[in-house]
Amino acid sequence: MSDLFDEFLEEWKELKVFYFGTIVSTLGFSLTAFIEVIYLVAIGLSYTKIGFIFLLYGILRAVVEIPTGIIADKYGRKTSSTLGLLICAISFILLPLSFNYLYILFFFNLFSFGSSLLSGAYMAWIVDTLKMRGLKDWIHRVTGRMGSIRGLMMTFGSLLGAYLLFQFLVLSGSVEVINPTAILVMRSLFVIHGLLFLIDFIVLSYWGKEVPLMEKKKKETFLEYIKNVIEESKDIIISRQIVLVLLTNSFIFFIAFAALRDTWEPFLTTILGYPIYWLGIVAAVTSFISFLTNLKSEEFTEWVGDYPATLFLLLLTLGCIVISLSFISFAPLVIIVYITIIAIWNFYGPIRGAYFQQNIPSNVRATMGSISAFIIELSGGVGSVLIFGMIGEFFGLRTVLLLSGIVVIISSSLYLILIRKE
């Protein structure tokens, strides 16, 4: 543990503005992440309507992801990241002020636009900062550390949100999901989320340092720049089998993962009958496990042998466990299995992210990150509306879990291509 602490102090000297910003924004995110779907259920929206919200969210991300990545590559990662944070802050502050369906659609999609400005740019900003300072070998280490910071703050924030819900529900004399007091507390948590994003925006705006972008040999108009970056990105996807497999896997996998994410909150509360604050307790446990697993993701990859084998093993295991979840009725065991699922995901995410980043050139890093996020959000929207929304509404949430597990196993098979290549 002393070695880990020494490493963290080393990283803090180089990346303190990013680490502090991640602490603040993750705390905000953690207050609402475990109630997002159940809040929409509580205010009267059907699974299909909720799925449609996430579908439109994914479509908008799909439309704006690549252009916003290009903005980051041309005008700077800091510009894109800070603008994205500001838009996200505004959307979360205003989102809970009305129950009108069109109003909610608008602010979810405003958040979608803001997060698209962040998605490719923020990690590209960190990676290029490391490269500029001669710390390229820190990429996987810092990727894992960022995951650990998020996991630790998600633990604290989820417990805080659960505690607030519990206290106010006890005072109101009811622990039902459809409860005016619960809805009021959830609305307040969304506002606090937005305010913490605003703090992150201020910190990065004043203390974050832009990374100088690569100078072009000739002057280009913005349209010429877009054309050239898209051409280069397309060439990378076509010529680099690793990148193509990772992007294809993401499309298949996140159809299932989005459905699982959307299903969990109503499954625990409306099917198994747990009080709403239990969502925060489970989120805190899974987040703390995320903190622990991210510390060891690099060592785990080295122990397995290489990236493709590690990613295949994790997804195959994940798919089998998700399938088993669809058949379990004993509520405490369901929670244990779900925690296991999230633990595996928290291993998978940073390892997949590091593998992807190591195979992308710097000058299109934000654009390629946006292409990856574009694919993830589009497939997630499909999973939300088709599997969670329609199948969940007509065939039940257990069917959603079963289909999700099958799709995860299918997605894992793509890594066999890279294992064979290695």
Could you give the CA distance from residue 358 to residue 76 in angstroms, rounded to a whole number? 20
Per the CB < 8 A criterion, the answer to whether 193 and 92 are in contact is: yes
List pLDDT tens digits, range 61-90. Answer: 767 766 666 677 777 788 888 999 999 999
Task: Assess if residue 221 is contained within a domain.
Answer: no
Q: What is the pLDDT of residues 328-383, one digit of tens each?
A: 888 889 889 988 888 888 778 878 877 887 777 766 666 677 677 778 878 888 88
Whether 21 is in a domain gets the answer yes
Does 46 fall in a domain?
yes
Query: Where does 5-48 show beta strands of DSSP type E?
Result: none
Q: Do 250 and 415 touch, CB atoms closer than 8 A?
A: no
362: Cβ–Cβ under 8 A, 6 or more apart, which residues?
Answer: 127, 128, 131, 214
Do the domain assignments include residue 216? no
Q: Do the domain assignments include residue 220? A: no
Say if 311 falls within a structural domain: yes
Higher-scoring residue by pLDDT: 365, 407: 407
Give the pLDDT score at 189: 93
- One-letter amino acid identity for 127? V
* Residue span of the structural domain in which 296 resides: 14-209+226-421
Number of domains in the chain: 1
| 5 confidence band (pLDDT: 50, 70, 90) | confident
User: Could you give the angle at which helices 47-75 and 222-239 cross, rounded to 10 degrees?
Assistant: 110
Alpha carbons 104 and 111: distance in angstroms, whole number: 11
Rounded to whole angstroms, what are the CA distances from 165 to 42, 168, 336?
Answer: 14, 5, 22
Examine residue 255 and state whether it is found in any structural domain, yes or no. Answer: yes
| Position 96 confidence tier, pLDDT thresholds 50, 70, 90 | very high
Q: Which two tokens stand for residue 52?
A: 């449609």
Indicate which CATH number applies to the domain containing 321. Answer: 1.20.1250.20
Question: Does 4 reside within a domain?
Answer: no
Nearest to 413 by CA among 237, 253, 303: 253
